Amino acid sequence: MAQAQQPQPLAATSVLSFHDAVELYLVLAGEHLQVNLPTQISFSQYWEKLTPGLPPNTQLPSKKAMERMNKLRVNLKHHGSVPSTTDITQVRADVLTFFTDATPLVFGGDFTRIDMIDLVNRQETVMFLQYAQTCVDKGDLLQAMAGLAIAFDELIDHYTEAGEGTYRPPFQFGQRLRNYRDESRRISGDRGVKKLSDLSAFVGFVKDISVQLASLTKVTQDIRRAMQVTGLGIDYTRHAQFEVVTPEILNYIDGHAEFLVEEGHKALTADDYHFARLFVIESALQAARVDEVLQRRRAHHAAGTPSPGVWKTGDTRNWEGPDPSGR
């Protein structure tokens, strides 16, 4: 679905993904229904071959629509014919209809109740996702979007701050930077500074430095977050879209949090929520690949002597191979 929303011709690849999803679904249906499918089977034959495993007097739905999608896939993959935007929109709707109608027949369940949240291992992320869904069910979309923003921030903090031990986490990219505070007002009110012959010039000088440092701090914060997101394998373009539709979270020392509702957030829709929710889930799945890296580093440092947990300590040996400088 994300591919289908890309500009042409990039969106064309969604037809291949939709087709693969349906075909894999049909293969899984054969296994679940215990139908012996032939090794060599054409796409349209699945509807006939799976019928014996279905409830009496029923058959898989959407055969004509799926055959239409298959033709688009063949034309694209084998003949280089790019499907139109209208075709892609139709395929997206047809595939959703097929899954919705076929799932009760094949698996005896409701397709709309299948949730990718079941694939997320990090329980903190699951907790925020579940709370966000509760808010949506009660009609509080803005509270739900704030929950998704908090879920994502907590996920990134978990994998980048890694507070266990004293070694430097590989995805931290430097220490967390606080927002820079302009000191010019405080200085201008200082009794000792007021004795300066040219106070206004001095305060103006401090103000200029403060503006520069504030700009550098903000840029560094943004670059650091971008490196953390991409380092964890998360799509930064989708992250940028996620930031547009979710409110900014304001965390306070006493532990409570608030969120900033901008004017544009009042026009958010259910589609915005579904996009943001799926983005958090996909981000959690991508970031989970880092678990093995972090565990390996913890084990490495735990075995260190005499100072376990301290980075880059041990015996030093001379290198005996070729000159590293290339000379």
Instruction: Give me the pLDDT at residue 202, please.
Output: 66
Convert the pLDDT of each residue in 104-124 to its tens digit: 999 999 998 888 999 999 999
Convert the pLDDT of each residue in 230-275 to its tens digit: 999 999 999 999 999 999 999 888 889 999 999 999 999 999 999 9
Question: 325 vs 116, which has greater pLDDT?
Answer: 116
Nearest to 133, CA basis, from 240, 120, 267, 94: 120
322, two tokens: 């070729």
Instruction: Give me the pLDDT at residue 257, please.
Output: 92
What does the DSSP assignment read for 300-319? HHHT-SSSTT-TT-S-----
Specify the pTM. Answer: 0.71
Note whether 60 and 50 are within 8 A (CB).
yes
The mean pLDDT value for 283-305 works out to 81
pLDDT over 90 percentage in the chain: 61
Distance (Å, rounded) from C-alpha 276 to C-alpha 56? 41
Statement: residue 193 has pLDDT above 60: no
Convert the pLDDT of each residue in 50-85 to its tens digit: 999 999 999 999 999 999 999 999 999 999 999 999
The average confidence (pLDDT) of the chain is 87
Residue 147: CB partners within 8 Å, gap ≥ 6? 128, 129, 131, 132, 135
Q: Which amino acid is at 114?
A: I
Instruction: Give me the pLDDT at residue 192, please.
Output: 57
State the virtual CA torsion across 315, 321, 325, 326 in degrees, nearest 10.
-170
Q: Taking CA 252 as the corner, what is the angle to CA 250 and CA 258, rounded to the nearest 5 degrees? A: 35
Instruction: Give me the pLDDT at residue 292, please.
Output: 84
The mean pLDDT value for 176-204 works out to 62
Distance (Å, rounded) from C-alpha 169 to C-alpha 294? 8
Instruction: Give me the pLDDT at residue 166, please.
Output: 46
Instruction: Give me the pLDDT at residue 1, please.
Output: 87
Question: 131 vs 194, which has greater pLDDT?
Answer: 131
Instruction: Give me the pLDDT at residue 117, please.
Output: 93
Distance (Å, rounded) from C-alpha 194 to C-alpha 210? 19
DSSP element (H, E) containing 258:
strand 257-260
Q: Assign 249 to helix, strand or coil.
A: strand
- Report helix angle 63-79 to 85-107, nearest 10: 130
Question: 174 vs 321, which has greater pLDDT?
Answer: 321
The residue ranges of every structural domain in the chain are: 3-114, 119-171+232-302, 175-222
Strand partners, 260: 248
